[in-house]
């Protein structure tokens, strides 16, 4: 960042702080409490990735178990966001926030004391439910507290700064705690934080609710959750069962049927969770697609990068956390670049550019991944992080701009649900690519070993992918080298897929934006001709 841009950033931060300080003390307290609650969710979501190899080693867990540590949380989170928001509007946002903190705290305790990988994943799912309760209620509380234009905009800027800082420090915090205190303290540290936030919310927040809130769509929520869970289950277990196995095919078929039922139900509902009519607008579809591409191809790297740094380079948890900083810091710098570009280019062009940068960064990282040169990999990480930073706020703005003011709550729910659905889907898809390519690379290297079948079996592959080389049987230097090279090859393949997907989504967003512009021009032309006739 140049001296001029750094000074501009400092001036902007001081302006935000001045606005917040000019608000009443109670409003400041509400903003800081709600922002800290959301930052806790972001921190917890990203901090666990660095600990995955340590979790695998303690439980002797395979890759599927490690994927579920992330996916169980994300599936529950994504499935519960829309109903949690509706419930908060009905029973009260303050009550929902405190209940969410209680659920999040108890689930964190369950994670920290989990005796097995299965128990950990069940607790992680419960934690996802608590996180959905927290996020929706905290966002509603901020929106209800700050009504005026300037104060509202800057309050959201303070909230965004808290989220950015928590995202940046999460890998390092995760590495430090995992290496020096043990992975269980990643979850147990939430207990005093939740207690403090609950006390602050109880003493400092006013209750608010929406008196015109519609009925809860419990059936729609259940169908969406079941469809998403079955789809992710199929993607994760297909790595062991095989894509042609009847169990994989049955799960995918059930996922498709349940999702079709969900869409049919939403069409019939008077107050549906999702207004499907919005998806007839090319501009809205482009914005949602951009959010999906951003989350699936960039944000998901917070899960895979720590595994790569620890497996391919043999880094301890702390150094892996430090190694992720180029990506995290670039995500913080990216929004400043996006804000500058946003004054010169249309919103849809900015989304297309951001996705193209993510695609280029992923392909660059994939190209360097097998070279065992961290500096080159970091270059690709920075490019991807910059693209992600450009899109981080602009995807949300683009979605919100496509709906009338009275539907912004639902649009925000669609945006956040899309983000986390994309992450969990990408974990399953890219995890399958990672497993498949790593397996192929191991088979390729097997010819150099005296008895490859005794070492490079399915258990070895699963432990390698999970980051548990110690229990995988990689005792000799030759096997360790083969394992690391094979994982690097798998990681490169998964990033290449992510890069191609990002570029494909960028092209689709560009085409949809052109369709929207053409349609709007036709309407303007028809309106102009009608005006001439009237005159």
Q: pLDDT digit of tens for each residue in the chain (535 aa)?
A: 454 544 555 455 555 545 444 457 788 888 899 999 999 998 888 888 888 888 988 898 888 888 899 889 988 998 888 888 888 888 888 999 999 999 999 999 999 999 999 999 999 999 999 999 998 888 888 878 887 667 777 777 788 778 878 888 888 898 899 989 999 999 999 999 999 999 999 988 888 877 666 667 788 888 988 999 999 989 888 877 788 889 999 999 999 999 999 989 888 877 677 778 888 888 889 999 999 999 999 988 888 888 899 888 888 888 988 998 899 889 888 888 887 887 888 888 999 999 999 999 999 999 999 888 899 999 999 999 999 988 877 787 788 777 776 566 667 778 888 888 899 899 889 988 998 898 888 888 776 665 555 556 677 777 777 776 665 555 567 778 888 888 899 999 999 999 999 999 999 999 998 887 777 666 655 555 555 544 4
Q: How far lies 528's CA from each of 249, 523, 532, in Å?
A: 54, 9, 6
Helix boundaries (H) for 401-476: 408-445, 458-466, 469-472
The secondary structure of residue 207, as a DSSP letter, is P
Quick one: pLDDT at residue 11? 53
pLDDT of residue 20: 47
Can you give the pLDDT at residue 466? 75
Quick one: pLDDT at residue 534? 40
Other beta carbons within 10 angstroms of residue 314's beta carbon come to: 12
Domain boundaries along the sequence of the chain: 11-217, 220-268, 275-529
Q: HSE-up of 112 (CA within 13 Å, CB side)?
A: 19
- The hierarchical CATH code for the domain 275-529 is 1.20.1250.20
Q: Please report which residue ranges of 146-245 form alpha helices under DSSP H.
A: 149-180, 184-188, 190-204, 218-241
C-alpha distance from residue 485 to each of 278, 442, 495 (Å): 47, 9, 15
Fold of 11-217: Growth Hormone; Chain: A; (1.20.1250)
Residues 470, 510: contact at Cβ < 8 Å? no
**Residue 237 in tokens:** 């277990």
φ, ψ for residue 433, nearest 5 deg: -65, -45
Q: Which residues contact 181 (CB under 8 A, 6 or more apart)?
A: none
Residue 508 CB contacts under 8 Å (≥ 6 apart), including other chains:
286, 289
- pTM of the shown model: 0.83
Q: Residue 154 has what pLDDT?
A: 76
CA angle 262, 264, 269 (to 5 degrees): 90
C-alpha to C-alpha distance for 417 and 132, rounded to whole angstroms: 10
CA distance 511 to 401: 19
Domains 11-217 and 275-529 fall in the same CATH topology: yes
Distance, CA of 129 to CA of 248 (rounded, Å): 26
Sign of CA dihedral 367, 370, 374, 375: negative
Residues 295 and 300: their CA atoms lie apart, in Å, by 6
């Amino acid at each position: 960042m140049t001296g001029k841009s750094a000074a501009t950033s400092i001036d902007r931060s001081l302006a935000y702080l001045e606005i917040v300080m000019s608000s009443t003390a109670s409003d400041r307290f509400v903003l800081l409490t709600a922002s800290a609650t959301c930052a806790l969710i972001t921190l917890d979501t990203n901090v666990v990735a660095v600990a995955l190899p340590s979790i695998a080693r303690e439980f002797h867990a395979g890759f599927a178990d490690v994927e579920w540590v992330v996916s169980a949380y994300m599936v529950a989170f994504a499935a519960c966001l829309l109903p949690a928001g509706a419930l908060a509007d009905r029973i009260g946002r303050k009550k929902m926030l405190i209940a969410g903190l209680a659920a999040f705290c108890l689930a964190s305790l369950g994670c920290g004391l989990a005796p097995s990988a299965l128990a950990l994943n069940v607790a992680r799912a419960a934690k996802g439910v608590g996180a959905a309760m927290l996020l929706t209620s905290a966002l509603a509380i901020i929106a209800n507290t700050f009504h005026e234009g300037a104060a509202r905009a800057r309050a959201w800027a303070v909230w965004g700064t808290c989220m950015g800082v928590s995202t940046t420090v999460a890998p390092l915090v995760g590495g430090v705690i995992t290496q020096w205190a043990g992975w269980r303290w990643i979850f147990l540290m939430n207990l005093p934080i939740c207690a403090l936030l609950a006390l602050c919310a109880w003493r400092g927040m006013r209750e608010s609710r929406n008196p015109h809130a519609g009925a809860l769509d419990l059936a729609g929520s259940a169908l969406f959750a079941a469809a998403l869970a079955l789809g992710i289950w199929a993607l994760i277990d297909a790595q062991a069962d095989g894509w042609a196995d009847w169990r994989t095919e049955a799960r995918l078929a059930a996922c498709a049927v349940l999702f079709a039922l969900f869409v049919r139900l939403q069409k019939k509902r008077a107050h549906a969770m999702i207004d499907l009519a919005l998806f007839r607008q090319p501009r809205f579809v482009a914005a949602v697609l951009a959010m999906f591409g951003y989350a699936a191809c960039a944000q998901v790297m917070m899960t895979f990068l720590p595994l790569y740094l620890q497996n391919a380079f043999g880094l301890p948890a702390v150094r892996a956390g430090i190694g992720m900083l180029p990506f995290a810091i670039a995500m913080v710098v990216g929004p400043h670049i996006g804000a500058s570009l946003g004054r010169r280019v249309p919103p849809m062009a900015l989304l297309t550019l951001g996705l193209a940068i993510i695609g280029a960064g992923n392909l660059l990282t994939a190209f360097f991944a097998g070279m065992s040169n961290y500096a080159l990999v970091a270059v690709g990480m920075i490019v991807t992080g910059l693209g992600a930073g450009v899109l981080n706020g602009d995807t949300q703005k683009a979605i919100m701009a496509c709906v009338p003011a009275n539907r912004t709550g639902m649009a925000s729910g669609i945006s956040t649900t899309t983000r986390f659905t994309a992450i969990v889907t990408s974990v399953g898809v890219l995890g399958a690519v990672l497993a498949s390519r790593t397996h192929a690379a191991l088979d390729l290297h097997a010819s150099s070993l005296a008895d490859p079948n005794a070492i490079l079996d399915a258990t070895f592959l699963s432990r390698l992918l999970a980051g548990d080389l110690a229990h995988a049987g990689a005792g000799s230097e030759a096997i360790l080298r083969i394992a690391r090279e094979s994982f690097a090859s798998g990681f490169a393949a998964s990033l290449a897929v992510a890069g191609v997907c990002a570029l494909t989504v960028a092209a689709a967003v560009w085409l949809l934006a052109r369709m929207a512009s053409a349609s709007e021009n036709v309407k303007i032309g028809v309106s102009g001709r009608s005006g001439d006739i009237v005159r």
